[in-house]
Structure 1
Amino acid sequence: MKNPAREDRSEMREQPNFYWEQEDYIKEKQKGKDWNWTIFRPSIIIGESIGSPMNIIPVIGVYAALLKEEGKPLYYPGGVETFVPATDADLLARAIAWAGESNKAQGEAFNITNGDIFVWSSIWPTIAETLGMEPGENVPLSLKEEIPKREADWKRIRKKYNLVAPGLTDFVGYSLEYTDWFLFYGATEMPYPFFLSDIKLRQAGFHECIDTEVMFQKWIRLFQEKRLLPEPKRKIGYTAK
């Protein structure tokens, strides 16, 4: 697709996707009714979920805990990097709440991101620090292939740190393959970057944003506080705004 992706770009619909069918369905249902719709198109959503097919926080948390127990740093398991946008789940929720009250959101589709872009090498040290680890070098690893082999190790970690997190499969769901993709495992050339323009959303009146690095800190700390992941000996602070 052309960068940056805008909501009205026709080439986006050239690729078959059930999202378009959902949008067409809701638009047709609304005709002649006294209610309205608003469509949000986020980037990669990061938030709190367990057993999800598309959440990298539990996967990175388990991967980190396994390495930490072995006295190793937090190696980056992916491939060649590219520029990536993300969408904080809390930010998306606030945008949805805004849309329910704003006339400018009625019958509109909006891209939504945190407002910045990132590359993994820039935020990996912060992720490692929040997990109480040192960042490591790039050691490519398919999490989908290797993490399932460590069920017994994860069970020992859960017991050692008195975690309430479930077993490996129930905790990470189908997110292992998704995380491999998001970390560009196997990529030897820089993948084509994709950017979502959220100018339309800002012009309509929703102006909130969050630093993606802070976002990762926030969700990792939440998982630690809820005893879903081991807490580091030294707690790392963060600012949610």
Structure 2
Amino acid sequence: MSSSKQPVALVAGASGIVGTGIAQRLVADGWRVLCASRSGGGCVPGTEGIAVDLMDPQACRQALLPYEDISHVFYAAYQQAQSRAAEVAPNLGMLRNVVEAASAAAPGLRKIVLVTGAKFYGIQWGAVSTPCRESDARQLPPNFYYDQQDFLCQAQRGQAWSWVNLIPPFVSGFAVGNPMNLVLGIGIYAAVCKELGLPLRFPGSTGAYDALHQIADAQQIGAAASWAASAEAAANQAFNVANGDAARWRNTWPVIAASLGMEAAQPKTMPLADVMPDQQAVWNRVAQRQGLRGIDIAKIVDWAWVDYMLRMSHDVVLETGKIRRAGFHACIETDRVFVQRLRELQEHKVIPR
């Protein structure tokens, strides 16, 4: 981002997959990056940490008060709850707290970049009309993504800043400690299968194996967020963002297997939420032999969520013409970047080589 003054970003949710990707891209682009988290640690090299509980509005105001030079807010925080309805209050509340605190502290605030997801189009309820477009009619609530965008619409009135909502489909990226992590889940599942001398069977449904879908890697979301921060066309509207190619697990799964030195096998629907926690002894054997990090595989990954992702038997395809027409043209290859993410986990001794 070219400017005579260094832009200052506040990244909420920087410890997650998407937030990490955004923070990394902004650091590479020369931004000063502030990462808001409970611990207050800088989650990405080159960033500064701010200790704050995003659920506490007063704590947010106090924590951001010294940072009057914040120019942009990038919001990728998420609070899981037991139901769709229960997700609304905490996730809307955290966004409101961050936006109101940043607006009060930083008179030069220019843009708020929100990242939501394809649940905006109701993919969690079943098949939807594809490709999903930003102009599509909403589905029945509850859906906290709707509440978040509606809040930004209302809060922006009379303000100098504008907002953007980036909507990715499935997400890939590097993170450890984020249970909703498809790459890590597949990596651990593959390591257990390999140790037991089994081929890499696709554990989801046959419908999901053949369905057409898209992935947005955190690298691509970070690039889109950096673009949206300065693009004049990216103001007070939503944009779909994806890697640039559509994929099917039928084609991607053999690529993953080959990258891990395994044979791919046809789908066999397997309840990972039931069977993977029982593989700790197998995992411990692999980890001890290869000097891997000590992890509790029942907790490091949300296996019920992985089951949900790998059993989505309908197409999940977003129309990305709008963001391209507005000026964002980055494109990366899904299979290549998925393998790259597995390699990162290997390099950090999270999964075996």
- TM-score when normalising by structure 1: 0.87
Alignment check: 8 A CA contact 2:134 2:239 kept: yes
> 1:180 matched to which residue of 2?
307
Task: Please give the secondary structure, in 1, of the residue aligned with 2:266.
Answer: strand
> 1:156 matched to which residue of 2?
285
- 1:155-185 C-alpha deviation (Å, 9 max, x unpaired): 222111101252213421x2x1122122218
Could you say if the C-alpha distance between residues 139 and 2 of structure 1 is closer, same or farther in structure 2, counting changes exceeding 3 Å? Answer: closer
- 1:210-230 C-alpha deviation (Å, 9 max, x unpaired): 111112111011111111111
Pick the aligned partner of 1:92 from 221, 234, 238.
221
Alignment check: 8 A CA contact 2:195 2:282 kept: no
> 1:237 matched to which residue of 2?
none
> 2:65 matched to which residue of 1?
none
Task: Pick 1 or 2: higher relative contact order, CA cutoff 8 A, min separation 6.
Answer: 1
What's the C-alpha RMSD, in Å, of the aligned pairs?
1.6
> 1:52 matched to which residue of 2?
178
The reply to whether residue 229 of structure 1 matches residue 229 of structure 2 is no
Return 5+ residue gaps in structure 2 as ranges.
1-127
Partners in 2 of 1:26 and 1:168 — Cα distance? 38
Question: Once superposed, which parts of structure 1, at least 4 consecutive aligned residues long, lie more than 4 Å away?
Answer: none
Return 5+ residue gaps in structure 1 as ranges.
186-190, 232-241
Task: Please give the secondary structure, in 1, of the residue aligned with 2:238.
Answer: strand
> 1:7 matched to which residue of 2?
134
Could you say if the C-alpha distance between residues 159 and 119 of structure 1 is closer, same or farther in structure 2, counting changes exceeding 3 Å? Answer: same
Pick the aligned partner of 2:230 from 98, 101, 107.
101
Task: Please give the secondary structure, in 2, of the residue aligned with 1:40.
Answer: strand
- TM-score when normalising by structure 2: 0.60
Could you say if the C-alpha distance between residues 206 and 165 of structure 1 is closer, same or farther in structure 2, counting changes exceeding 3 Å? Answer: farther
> 2:244 matched to which residue of 1?
115
- The 5-angstrom pairing of residues 205-216 of structure 1 reads 205-216=327-338
Alignment check: 8 A CA contact 1:74 1:134 kept: yes
Task: Please give the secondary structure, in 2, of the residue aligned with 1:103.
Answer: coil
Figure out how many residues of one structure are paired with residues of the other and give that number. Answer: 223
The reply to whether residue 18 of structure 1 matches residue 140 of structure 2 is no
The reply to whether residue 195 of structure 1 matches residue 317 of structure 2 is yes
